[in-house]
C-alpha cells in the first residue's frame, strides 16, 4: 500500500504516515479515514508526522480539497503536524493551507524522518514542562 500509518511507540503519542511511490486521491482519502479511526481510539491529541520523502508530489494539483477534508476530520485529534521531505509544490501548498486553516506553529517542515522524530521529542518535552 502506498500510504501507511504506524505509531512511533506504545504510548501512542506520535503517528508516522508514509507516502511511498505513486498514490491516488482515492488511496489518500481511504488512508485519512483509517487514520481518523486510529486517532479517535487513543483519546488524546497526537503528533502526526507526514513522511513525503519517498513521494514528494501529490498525484494532481487538485490537492486543496483533499487536504481540507483531511484537516477538518483530523484536526480535533492532532497536537502538531510535522511534514518530512516535502517537495517545492507540496511545501508551497502546505504553507498556503496552514495560513488559512491551521493555528500558528502547528505545522512544521523538516528534511528527514530522523529530524521529525527529534522534533516529536522536543515538542513532547515542551508539553510536559
Structural domains in the chain?
3-128 (3.30.750.24)
φ and ψ at residue 78, rounded to 5 degrees? -110, 135
Instruction: Tell me the residue length of the chain.
Output: 129
Give yes or no for a contact between 80 and 123, defined as CB atoms under 8 angstroms apart: yes
Task: State how far the Cα of 112 lies from the Cα of 128, in Å rounded to an integer.
Answer: 25
φ and ψ at residue 63, rounded to 5 degrees? -75, -40
3-state SS assignment for residue 5: strand
Query: pLDDT tens digits for the chain (129 residues)?
Result: 799 999 999 999 999 999 998 888 899 999 999 999 999 999 899 999 999 888 866 767 677 788 778 888 887 888 888 989 876 656 666 666 666 555 667 788 898 999 999 999 888 766 554
Amino acid at each position: 500500500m502506498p500510504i501507511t500509518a504506524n505509531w512511533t511507540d506504545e504510548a501512542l503519542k506520535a503517528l508516522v504516515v508514509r507516502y511511498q511511490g505513486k498514490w491516488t486521491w482515492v488511496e489518500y482519502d481511504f488512508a485519512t479515514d483509517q487514520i481518523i479511526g486510529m486517532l479517535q481510539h487513543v483519546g488524546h491529541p497526537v503528533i502526526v508526522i507526514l513522511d513525503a520523502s519517498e513521494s514528494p508530489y501529490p498525484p494532481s494539483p487538485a490537492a486543496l480539497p483533499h487536504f481540507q477534508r483531511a484537516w477538518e476530520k483530523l484536526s480535533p485529534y492532532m497536537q502538531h503536524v510535522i511534514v518530512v521531505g516535502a517537495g517545492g509544490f507540496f511545501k508551497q501548498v502546505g504553507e498556503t493551507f496552514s495560513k488559512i486553516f491551521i493555528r500558528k506553529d502547528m505545522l512544521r517542515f523538516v528534511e528527514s524522518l530522523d529530524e521529525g522524530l527529534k522534533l516529536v521529542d522536543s515538542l513532547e518535552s515542551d508539553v510536559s514542562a
